Chain A
Amino acid sequence: MIIGGGPAGLEAAYNIAINGYKVTILEKDNEIGGNIKKWVKLFPDFGDAAEIRKAFADKVNKGNIEIQTGVEISELYSENEKWFAKNGNNVIYSADAALLATGFEAFDARRKEELGYGIYDNVITSVDFEEMYKTGKILTAQGTVPKRIAFLNCVGSRDEKVGNHYCSRVCCINAVKQATEFKELVPDAEAYCFYMDMRMAGQFYEELYRKSQEKYNVNYIRGRISEAAATFDKRIQIKSEDTLTGLPMKMTVDILVLMVGIESSASTTELSRQNGINGEYGFAKSLGLYISDNLTKKAGLFLAGSCKRPLTLPETVADSRAASVQILNYLKLN
């Protein structure tokens, strides 16, 4: 029984099913795919998200995988070495083992009130950017082509004020990707990325970061934005400090994109709490980081993907395969 039909859940379902076990995927949305559904292209190589999603869907299109969508699990518990999941309508699903693959939710940018998300129409999030990018255009709320856009990193990450000290790990490179995409659409516009540190640790990240500057002329400013406010003509005035020059700066942009961080999903937090595996910041806690990262202190309950911590898509897939092996071992031995 896999709770969550995103990349982690789908990859695990495939790997367990081809070993001859019956798998049930319980997905709260009406479609499988998880957070990939919201993306158009993926960093760092601009892979087509729809194609990748389709590849996942094809993998789980097998006779011994049952997919239940629109099922939000509210209770997860074990009795007599069996695992049970109950939804809001008191429908109970049972299995010999359970995999928590409940993923992440994007940080709710309204919590950073000073940045004006949900108040000013031209302040959007990186998730909204993707939604707009699906249309093939990036336009202001007034329907005009932006002449200047700013991306702000670390919205909801590395931020004591909102209680998230951790780095979400994907936002820096995603800002580079989205700034590049914007410049491809509107070559004459100016694009600025405000950052604390550019964490380009993944393969090909540094190359894309460099390309964004050399080929697309994206400007990177080391500083957080302290506040955003709408001007009379509905543009966004932002204040920051360029910490490399030590000077305060004020700028008006047509769109401000908030690179929202990764937070534990509500399901992750609640189901982890019910089973005593709740870790830091609402994420699920594995038994150990090095050799038992997919196990929990509850026999038969496993973890995969970003329900544990922020992970990229390739990391999630690899982690899900590792979880599959642990589940197969468990099923064989019990």
Chain B
Amino acid sequence: MTETKKHFWNEYQKEIAEDNFFYERSCIRQSFFPGSETIFLKILTDDLGKNIIDDPNQHTCTGIGYHSDVVPFDTTMTVVGRLFSLMKDSGVRNYVPSCVTSFGVFTEVVETWKHFPEELEKTRDNLRKATGREFDIPENIAHPSDIIYKYRKELKEKMKYQLVNRHTGKPLKVVEHIGCHYGKIFSKHAVGGAEFPQVLAGMIEEWGGEVVDYPERRHCCGFGFRQYLVMANRGYSVANTKKKFESMKPYKPDFIVANCPGCAMFMDRWQYTIAEMEGITYDDNKMGIPVLTYEEMAGMLLGYNPWDLGLQIHQVQVEQLLDKIGIEYNPDDKFIGKSGKYLGEPEKPENLVVDYGK
């Protein structure tokens, strides 16, 4: 990192609450990365000793529908108002949405209310009529990756592992990818701004890794909502992902980390699709480049069991990465569910090599 980069990143520091959070889960993350949200809650409560509310009455923020032009903004604002009313009931004032798109929706709605107070009043009225509920605007809205970033030094002290290749002693090369709705709507709400976001880069560097700065670093992951959600557009989705991978390939990244559900999902799964379509992968071993969420990265280094983190659910298998770092795992437990039952193994694709390690 050059001094200049530091200089500008420092200008984009944001306020992140210290404690007493209201957590809002993502619609899709629990199926894409089933361990990530659970591990975030564990890290906050068990490792950092923070208070965080996980309310079972929560619901969608409408983000996917809103960004696909099927949910009108008035509806979105009212649904957001209801989520804020749940936070009000819980007694905390710091809102933490798991999903980057939710984070974008909340910052956009609150900013709208700031500039157009009549929209706030209309939303209060709509929510009152529909549910009889009242809400407060949060004192602080932060993405969970902001909180992990804020406490990256404290977490480092508790970590069993570092982002270092145990065979070479060199830092692992990590591609970081920020969801568009984290920093591109309002760069002031992103740690480090939109051009050189620091939120994941800060974690990687603090935990011993090296950030890969490749030409298409800012390019879309390929999800892009309508690029994928409209089936006829899926070629754009794959093409965008392919462009990123071709750009990062020469740097030989050890893994990719993202803070957005769509980004982590598509950069992982499209590697399989591209391998099937064109017979190519973007690593030297034909195994693909592992893609992690930032909670999985933190949990892995803190020494949580990789299979409790849900790493076995990824398309690109992670054993190559675990072995590089020297993380202990039991391959026999990989497909054993939490109930102790054997879950079965997925089919092994032909072009994206699967090796369960050890």
**Residues of B contacting A231 with CB < 8 Å?**
215
User: Is B31 on the interface with A (CB-CB < 8 A)?
Assistant: no
A110 to B195, CA, bound (A): 12
Contact B250 A232 (CB under 8 A): yes
Contact mask A221-256 → B, CB, 8 Å, 1/0?
A: 000000101111000010000000000000000000
- Any B CB within 8 A of the CB of A279: no
B7 at the interface (CB under 8 A from A): yes
A118 touching B4, Cβ below 8 Å: yes
Q: Is the CB of B2 within 8 A of A119?
A: yes
Q: Which of B2, B7, B193, B215 contacts A229 (CB 8 A)?
A: B215
A113 CA to B250 CA, complexed, in Å: 24
Task: Tell whether A110 pairs with B7 under 8 Å between CB atoms, given A119-B2, A119-B196.
Answer: yes
Interface residues of A (CB under 8 A from B): 110, 113-114, 118-119, 227, 229-232, 237
Are the C-beta atoms of A110 and B4 separated by less than 8 Å?
yes
Q: Enumerate chain B residues within 8 angstroms of A237, measured Cβ to Cβ.
A: 215
Given contacts A119-B2, A232-B250, A232-B251, contact A110 B8 (CB under 8 A): yes
**Complex Cα gap A229–B218 (Å):** 9
- What mask results when residues 1 to 28 of chain B are scored 1 for a CB within 8 Å of chain A, else 0? 0101101100000000000000000000
CB distance from A159 to the nearest CB of B (A): 15
For B217, what are the chain A residues with a Cβ–Cβ distance below 8 Å? 229
The answer, yes or no, to whether B161 is at the interface (CB within 8 Å) is no
6 contacts across the A-B interface (CB closer than 8 A) = A118-B2, A119-B2, A119-B196, A229-B217, A230-B213, A232-B250
Instruction: Tell me, in angstroms, the Cα distance from A230 to B5 when the chains sit together.
Output: 14
Pick from A113, A227, A229, A232: contact of B8, CB under 8 Å = A113
B111 on the A face (CB < 8 A): no
Secondary structure of the A contact surface, majority rule:
mixed
> Looking at the complex, which one of B5, B193, B218, B251 makes contact with A119 (CB distance below 8 Å)?
B5
User: Given A113-B193, A119-B196, are A229 and B4 neighbors across the interface (CB < 8 Å)?
Assistant: no
- Which B residues are in CB contact (< 8 Å) with A118? 2, 4-5, 7
> Residue-by-residue, is B174-204 near A (CB-CB < 8 Å gives 1, otherwise 0)?
0000000000000000000101100000000
| Interchain pairs with CB closer than 8 A, number | 31
How far is A118 from B196 in the complex, measured between Cα atoms in Å?
A: 13
User: B interface, how many residues as a size bin?
Assistant: 10 to 19
When C-beta atoms are compared, the residue in chain B nearest to A113 turns out to be B195
**In the bound complex, CA of A139 to CA of B256 (Å):** 35
Using an 8 Å CB-CB cutoff, how does the interface string of B211-241 with A read, 1 for contact, 0 for none? Answer: 0011111100000000000000000000000
Alpha-carbon separation in the docked complex, A231 to B247 (Å): 8
Closest partner residue, chain B, to A237 (CB atom): B215
Contact A114 B4 (CB under 8 A): no
- Give B187's nearest chain A residue, CB to CB: A113
Shortest CB distance B199–A (Å) = 15
User: What 3 pairs across the A-B complex have the smallest Cβ distances?
Assistant: A118-B4, A113-B195, A232-B250
Q: Which residue of A113, A114, A229, A237 has the most chain B CB atoms within 10 A of its CB atom?
A: A113
Closest to B192 in A: A113
Q: In the complex, A229 Cα to B243 Cα: how many Å?
A: 14
Contact B2 A230 (CB under 8 A): no
**A120 smallest CB distance to B (angstroms):** 9
A2 to chain B, nearest CB (A): 34
Bound Cα distance A110, B193 (Å): 14
User: Are A114 and B215 in touch, CB under 8 angstroms?
Assistant: no
- Do B215 and A113 touch across chains, with their CB atoms under 8 A apart? no
Known contacts A227-B218, A229-B213, A237-B215; is-contact A113 B196 (Cβ 8 Å): yes
Query: How far is it, in angstroms, between the C-alpha of A232 and the C-alpha of B246 when the chains are bound?
Result: 11
